[in-house]
Amino acid sequence: MFHKVLVANRGEIAVRVIRALHEMGIRAVAVFSEVDRGALHVQLADEAVCIGPAPSSESYLSGANILSAARKTGAEAIHPGYGFLSENAEFAKSCAEAGIKFIGPPWQAIEQMGSKTMARRIAIEVGAPIVPGTDSGIQDYEQACQAAAKIGYPVLLKASAGGGGKGMRRVDNESELQSAMRAASSEAERAFGSGEIYLEKLIELPRHIEVQVLGDEHGHLIHLGERECSLQRRHQKVLEESPSPLVLANPDLRARIGEAALRIARAANYASAGTLEFLADQQGNFYFLEMNTRLQVEHPVTELVTGIDLVRWQVRIAAGEPLTIQQEDVHWTGSAIECRVYAEDPENNFFPSPGRIAQYAEPSGPGIRLDGGVYPGWTVPIEYDPLLAKLCVWAENRPAAIGRMRRAVSEYRVLGITTNLQLFDRLMRNEEFAKGDLHTGFLDQFMTRTKSTADGQSALVAGIIAAAHAQAKTQAAPSEAAPRSFWQLEGRRRMLR
């Protein structure tokens, strides 16, 4: 087992990994940019190294700086967390060449599955259902026109080298295609260093279901079930849960989608923790989208329902240990929900709200887990993703989990900045959410409905206040016919004497 591991990340995921390392008796090395000098992950680590200025391109995305920090501190392995360099095959390869273990899949698997078009080809080869689309990057406008006409509009343009909504554009007809291609390719180039895009049929209002897999370096691979990730804004997940309400309604779906995920992962010779993402319709049909060759933000809900610590297993697998869990050993108990708590304003188009946290109080009690990376007095920097914490709950069933999350949200206090906690409070009280009738357009529709209701209520309150104010002014205005009070007359007489 490793004696010292460097955590190449920041925020709540760096804190999460450091805590797992300490539980395993492993020393943790933090890296930080100049703006993160006082960050919580820096305070919790055994050692910390500054790797550059605030821009991530000069710090957290600098593989050279991170490898230099690992050599300087004698770290035997690097855990990348998620984001930044976690799915960078070149960085993983550089770690291997430097004799430092990359805690994640082999760089060849990252390269193979990191290409969305190559991943689609692998899925086709193993017989997994996929969304109709192109199996290679689009070379020019003419090719895109032919592919879109064959598939049928609406279609999606997507970046071949990455996800998270970057380089993604919806196209409803041919007249929109050329400008959408330019925009998607340009955004993909900025985000991933590659402007290659491919085309996919747009499935209207599907569910977004993902499957967690875990494999060792000895060829043993299992799945840990599914997560419901349909609540999104701009293709970024906001709330996740396990099990999916769709699986609760279709009990055989978990086995079918889990087996498809394993076929794809085995074909890529995958090891470590990874996630395969699918779209599903209301009838239980599902289609492979892509694979994320890393730990997911929403991994805690899987840990809560299975009792399996994914980060600890990542470390153990990277150290060469065999996975001792068989597929039949995996059991799912109860229901878990995760809310991503961001420093942002949902009422202002989710605009980021960085700044100093004046007061901070975390919820506690039965069934609550909070993976956080902030503290009172910490200034949330504008340079990075505004994720503050992941608020998670577990309960014996989904209705109980919703009630517990409602209670947890009501206890959570973050003052000094704007957060999205009120959004989660409204969601937990929403009847449609409680029914589990979810899809990828649910949150947008919910925001539109609640905004209209809020605007109507605000207008009503404003009208009542205005009417009351007018009435008060009328009552306060002196009437020529009304007799003047005694003190007014008496006071005036005294002044005249």
pLDDT: which is higher, 137 or 332? 332
**Rounded distance between C-alpha atoms, residue 415 and residue 71, angstroms:** 40
Q: How much is the pLDDT for 87?
A: 95
Cα-trace Rg, the chain: 27
Higher-scoring residue by pLDDT: 27, 161: 27
The neighbouring-strand residues paired with 6 are 29, 78
CA 63/CA 98 separation, integer angstroms: 12
CB atoms within 10 A of CB 156: 21
Catalytic residue check, 404: no
* Selected catalytic residue, list 16, 254, 294, 316: 294
Packing angle, helices 63-73 and 89-97, rounded to 10: 30
Domain boundaries, the chain: 4-103, 132-201, 207-448
The pLDDT value recorded for residue 284 is 78
Check pLDDT > 70 for residue 94: yes
pTM of the model: 0.86
DSSP letter for 103, please.
Answer: S
Q: What integer pLDDT is reported at residue 203 of this predicted model?
A: 86
Torsion of CA 118, 207, 263, 321, to 10 degrees: 100
Cα–Cα distance, 310 to 17 (Å, whole number): 10
pLDDT, residue 136, reads: 86
pLDDT of 116 > 90? The answer is: no
Q: Give me the chain's average pLDDT, please.
A: 91
Per-residue pLDDT tens over the stretch 255-269? 999 999 999 999 999
Banded model confidence at residue 460, pLDDT cuts 50, 70, 90: very low
Q: Which residue has the tokens 């809900």?
A: 301
4-103 in CATH: which number?
A: 3.40.50.20
Tell me: cis bond preceding 105? Omega within 30 of 0 counts: no
Tokens of 412: 């959570």
For 22, other C-beta atoms within 10 Å of its C-beta total 14
Residue of 6, 155, 186, 182 whose CA lies nearest to 79: 6
At 276, is the pLDDT very low, low, confident or very high (cuts 50, 70, 90)? Answer: very high
Give 132-201's CATH code, choosing from 3.40.50.970, 3.30.1490.20, 3.40.50.261, 3.40.630.10.
Answer: 3.30.1490.20
The pLDDT of 454-466, averaged and rounded, is: 50
The candidate with the shortest Cα–Cα distance to 227, out of 338, 368, 372, 86, is 338
- In the chain, % of residues over pLDDT 90: 81
**For residue 496, is pLDDT > 60?**
no
Q: What are the Cα distances from residue 418, in Å, to 104, 353, 375, 487?
A: 35, 6, 15, 52
Using 50, 70 and 90 to split pLDDT, how confident is the model at 26?
A: very high
What is the rounded CA–CA span in Å between residue 434 and residue 399? 7
- Whether the predicted pLDDT of 165 surpasses 90: no
Dist. CA 216–CA 227, nearest whole Å? 22
Single-letter amino acid code for the residue at 173: N
Provide mean pLDDT across the span 477-494.
39
Tokens of 216: 């060792």
Distance CA 137, CA 250 (A): 35
Mean of pLDDT values over 422-427: 97
Query: Under 8 Å CB-to-CB from 240, ≥6 apart: which residues?
Result: 227, 228, 229, 231, 297, 298, 301, 337, 338
Cis peptide before 243 (omega within 30 of 0): yes
CB 96 within 8 A of CB 107: yes
* Per-residue confidence band for 487, with pLDDT thresholds at 50, 70 and 90: very low
- Which amino acid type is present at position 483? P
Closest to 417 in 3D by CA, of 392, 382, 446, 393: 382
Task: Write down the residue that tokens 């070379």 correspond to.
Answer: 139
**Confidence check: pLDDT of 453 > 80:** no
In the predicted model, is pLDDT for residue 131 greater than 90? no
* Nearest CA among 339, 369, 360, 296 for reference residue 40: 360
Pick 207-448's CATH classification: 3.40.50.1700, 3.40.718.10, 3.40.50.1580, 3.30.470.20.
Answer: 3.30.470.20
* Dihedral sign (CA 151, 153, 154, 157): positive
